Chains A and B, each alone.
Chain A
């Protein structure tokens, strides 16, 4: 310890004559060689003991970052560093602390670099575990059948989870990106292992059962007759099965040596013993890390920025658009090597959006982005819940797959309505086809019908769908939701000791809005609430269940509902219709940028980094300038640099 302190003191006195803050103004430090001259000495003094050289705690090694170029190439590291320093988490409590001036130097440098333009670079390659839905779909398309919960049990569960995979696997928490396909924080556990094992057994069992006869026939390229039993299973069939199954499971070509090794393990076995041995080999494939992690088999040069290999690209495309493994067409393009052509990728995106798998964009990406799952907590009754949830999902599916402009999410003449939601659509519901009722069934979930709005104009777009409105009750929740999910504004957590909204003073009958204005008088509250409140109160004409009431009729005895407001950017509106017009025009770029960021983040399965900004900027610009359809957004993401390229981490020097 003492030695270190002496060394540090020496370093400090050595540095003093050269102290650069005297020579360079602060603004220059950000842009110039701020890192080498100002930041590195501090790191060397205070951080290197644990983060570099002999010890490398938390994988952070400052000794490898020598130049400004090194520093710029690792920008996500500095995000963490800035956070740690701001939060006071580093250096640890029992170590010598940074002085205020030192902290400021580092943070100023960071801010300076943050503002400076950055070069687009892909992220570091990270394998990751399949999310629950990805695992479910992959297993499904691999075997050709879905594993379902026994019907009797499904009826018992109110939520009605039919998929055995989803029932057995613990739910994935959303990662730093907010999406559950970002599984970097959701580690494999022995619980998950056991469920994978159980699910693999169940699938293999079914494949060799009567129920799986057709799929087994497909996978073995044989027509298995009615009288076929497992005793008739031949080694030739087993070999075809393995050669069909293994590359599909690993989502890439598998070396012949590996395949023939598996096949040779079956030698000398016949009939039922052969079936058991085949199941064992296939289970080993399904329990292999190369199956349930993505990316473990990708090749490449460590430490270098490069294109991902063709199979990885195929896999990225299919998990992005389908939450599923690549189909045979994508695989064959990968084998041919033509996927490197952006035109080919574009063609594939178009094809894939037409396939049923593309519904996952609405069901996973859309639902998670817009937080639609919170409806499950608000509306427990299954039929109502289905009506309110399926409406925005069908709407998103329509926008995503039918070449609709991105901004139609805010306003559209098309909506999707069933018996549970038709009551919200006034005269328009009269144009709906009648639902045939099943005899003896009093209430059931019904499919949505596409409806063109002629009368209920106030319902256009997702913001005024009854499910979205009733999911967020009250102006504050509604405003916060719109701000975060649609406009992409990051709000901090509200402070823990927020006082209650004060009641009306005696003798005055103030509306909630007026009482809230009193609350907003506090500057620390106003910081967020001047953004939240105008958005939230604009929806005041829609009640808690999402019903539209004429603006002039407030509650009995209270003044009419005031839905007018002003955005912090200055635009005034008198009601939600006018706000919507503002969103579609002057807020358009902000909103499009948010759509681009969310889509890219979902596609990459990770939080966006600073180095992704150029990509976001470019796509935002293209979408804003053109027709800007969802399809074009998906194509541009699929052809973007972070999607197509990667940096493979260097081998740790042992």
Chain B
């Protein structure tokens, strides 16, 4: 068999983005990939991917309530990626005490704590460890331009001095950098190499005359020159190792909207990982505080405005917010599906990856830092035991998760940000699980009246965001279908996830009990009438 994988079969998948990526490219590899990867290493390399969702979540539709580690029901917002349940590790009760600004929550996402401003973010530390001899140590990607007023909202990756790492957003440029680099061309390589020698020699004569500040600048310059030399080496074809013919990859077309842009970038991410061009990628689906307008979903209001769903409350605003949130979840699904579709050694690309998906804050209206949405996907070559839901008994700082990830990736670290004890349970080990106070569930009907007690939840179908259910043990759950007045004045969304006793008028449709008008709502454990500001 030829050492070169020449992708002859040009069967292309026209993705939603119009990006042309040869699909069979993926599975052609099986035959050649018994035990060696592209770099000729025996073990499949580990990858670390981060996907950041801006503007927190709408907790009633995101949170999983009830259930246990191995027996849980995914929330309505998780529906788009529910099919990957076996590859997921859903973490709950992650976060910090109190509230968080957008900037702080963005910094926290990969740096553990917003005050951790002098160290690299966790992705960079992992990149150092796992990058091996890949052409690109790591990629830092985004969808949006800089928010110059609150600059930290635009970055999740930070270098070893705590400086922001510039991000890239154009799929075409990314494609060129990965698959059209002149560094892969033998003739160009020769030229680049001599240029690097020349500029180094020239700059050294400057160094001799330089004062302190100049010398620091030159230091920065020489570091990049060295990195470039290293990359040049890494891009050299290894003798005897198979080569991927990148020329058959088709450059994505310009994107007409955000959806196309993100799909194209996710295609490139998967391709970059699979070709082992890089092993560590962070991708922001938007800046925190994102004011993006999702016109391709038919939404005219800005995301950040909608994310304050309580203070800017209206039915149509909630519908719009949930549509946007579902879109984010679909992108997570898109990435996972892509990673699974690529065969990598004796498994899929996802099997040898850890994907961290989540946001910087929990409740997007009041900016709580508790119950931050965090999902890990992929087994990471066996470091994670997936298919589980871990709801910790107490709030766990994100830095504990980061520390665990560092250690799992074999980065030497005794502490990270505020934490020096890792987060237990990710590999299947013991952890202290959240215990709910037990409550009874029942339903009484008669005379057109109904009283039902049980856990309130949103409809799984987010198109009917105003419909709720109360689950009753051993019985069909009761559907709550009330008018706007009841919905608003009893603040049903606030009680989602908790047990309540609800009384009202009843109705029945094809055997299912329906509560059509609320006369009384009592919370079993909490306040029945929350303050307005608490959403």
A binds B: yes
DSSP majority for the A interface? loop
B297 at the interface (CB under 8 A from A): no
Are the CB atoms of B220 and A187 closer together than 8 Å?
Answer: yes
Query: Measured between alpha carbons, how far is A373 from B115 in the docked complex, in Å?
Result: 29
Are the CB atoms of B367 and A497 closer together than 8 Å?
Answer: yes
B63 at the interface (CB under 8 A from A): no
Are the CB atoms of B101 and A493 closer together than 8 Å?
Answer: yes
B254 CB contact (under 8 Å) in A124, A127, A157: A157
Q: How far is the CB of B99 from chain A (nearest CB, A)?
A: 4
Are the CB atoms of A374 and B149 closer together than 8 Å?
Answer: yes
Knowing A287-B199, A289-B203, A497-B366, the reply to whether A648 touches B211 (Cβ < 8 A) is yes
For B, the interface residue count at a CB cutoff of 8 angstroms equals 63
B42 at the interface (CB under 8 A from A): no
B532 at the interface (CB under 8 A from A): yes
Query: Measured between alpha carbons, how far is A143 from B459 in the docked complex, in Å?
Result: 64
Query: Measured between alpha carbons, how far is A192 from B220 in the docked complex, in Å?
Result: 12
Knowing A188-B220, A376-B145, A493-B101, the reply to whether A651 touches B198 (Cβ < 8 A) is no
Are the CB atoms of A649 and B224 closer together than 8 Å?
Answer: no
Query: Measured between alpha carbons, how far is A85 from B60 in the docked complex, in Å?
Result: 41
Chain B residue with the shortest CB-CB distance to A294? B217
Are the CB atoms of A288 and B164 closer together than 8 Å?
Answer: no
Are the CB atoms of B151 and A650 closer together than 8 Å?
Answer: no
B213 CB contact (under 8 Å) in A127, A188, A501: A127
Q: How far is the CB of A133 from chain B (nearest CB, A)?
A: 14
Q: How far is the CB of B386 from chain A (nearest CB, A)?
A: 33
Are the CB atoms of A124 and B148 closer together than 8 Å?
Answer: no
Chain A residues 283-330 with CB under 8 Å of chain B are 283-284, 287-290, 293, 295-297, 302
Q: Chain B residues with Cβ under 8 A from A171's Cβ?
A: 145-146, 166
Chain A residues 376-408 with CB under 8 Å of chain B are 376-378, 380
B320 at the interface (CB under 8 A from A): no
Q: Chain A residues with Cβ under 8 A from B181's Cβ?
A: 194
B211 CB contact (under 8 Å) in A192, A283, A378, A649: A649
Chain A residues 137-179 with CB under 8 Å of chain B are 153, 156-157, 167-168, 170-171, 173-174, 178
For A, the interface residue count at a CB cutoff of 8 angstroms equals 62
Q: Chain A residues with Cβ under 8 A from B159's Cβ?
A: 187
Chain B residues 135-157 with CB under 8 Å of chain A are 145-146, 148-149, 151, 154
A126 at the interface (CB under 8 A from B): yes
B240 at the interface (CB under 8 A from A): no
Are the CB atoms of A185 and B164 closer together than 8 Å?
Answer: yes
A226 at the interface (CB under 8 A from B): no
B430 at the interface (CB under 8 A from A): no
Contact with B along A212-236 (1 / 0, CB 8 A): 0000000000000000000000000
Are the CB atoms of B291 and A296 closer together than 8 Å?
Answer: no
Q: Chain B residues with Cβ under 8 A from A245's Cβ?
A: none
Contact with A along B199-240 (1 / 0, CB 8 A): 100110010001111110110110011011001000000000
Knowing A288-B199, A293-B217, the reply to whether A153 touches B254 (Cβ < 8 A) is yes
Query: Measured between alpha carbons, how far is A191 from B142 in the docked complex, in Å?
Result: 15
A499 at the interface (CB under 8 A from B): yes
B411 at the interface (CB under 8 A from A): no
Chain B residues 66-113 with CB under 8 Å of chain A are 98-101, 103-104
A371 CB contact (under 8 Å) in B146, B148, B202: B148
B465 at the interface (CB under 8 A from A): no
Are the CB atoms of B220 and A651 closer together than 8 Å?
Answer: no
A496 at the interface (CB under 8 A from B): yes
Contact with B along A259-299 (1 / 0, CB 8 A): 00000000000000000000010011001111001011100
Knowing A127-B214, A188-B220, the reply to whether A501 touches B203 (Cβ < 8 A) is no
Q: Chain A residues with Cβ under 8 A from B311's Cβ?
A: 500-501
Are the CB atoms of B198 and A284 closer together than 8 Å?
Answer: yes
Are the CB atoms of A168 and B199 closer together than 8 Å?
Answer: no
B10 at the interface (CB under 8 A from A): no
A625 at the interface (CB under 8 A from B): no
Query: Measured between alpha carbons, how far is A652 from B212 in the docked complex, in Å?
Result: 6
Can you list 25 A-B pairs with a CB-CB distance of less than 8 A? A127-B217, A128-B217, A156-B253, A156-B254, A186-B166, A187-B159, A188-B221, A188-B224, A189-B224, A193-B225, A193-B228, A194-B228, A283-B195, A284-B198, A287-B199, A289-B217, A293-B217, A296-B218, A371-B148, A376-B145, A496-B104, A496-B367, A502-B533, A503-B532, A651-B211
In order of increasing CB-CB distance, the 8 nearest A-B pairs are A500-B311, A156-B254, A170-B166, A497-B99, A496-B99, A649-B212, A499-B533, A496-B101
Please give 16 more A-B residue pairs, beta carbons under 8 A apart, in addition to A178-B148, A503-B532, A650-B211. A125-B211, A127-B213, A153-B254, A167-B173, A173-B154, A174-B148, A185-B163, A189-B166, A197-B192, A280-B191, A371-B148, A493-B103, A496-B101, A496-B367, A650-B212, A651-B211
Listed in ascending order, the chain B residues whose CB lies under 8 Å from chain A are 98-101, 103-104, 115, 145-146, 148-149, 151, 154, 159, 163-168, 170, 173, 177, 181-182, 191-192, 194-195, 198-199, 202-203, 206, 210-215, 217-218, 220-221, 224-225, 227-228, 231, 253-254, 291, 293, 295, 302, 308, 310-311, 365-367, 532-533
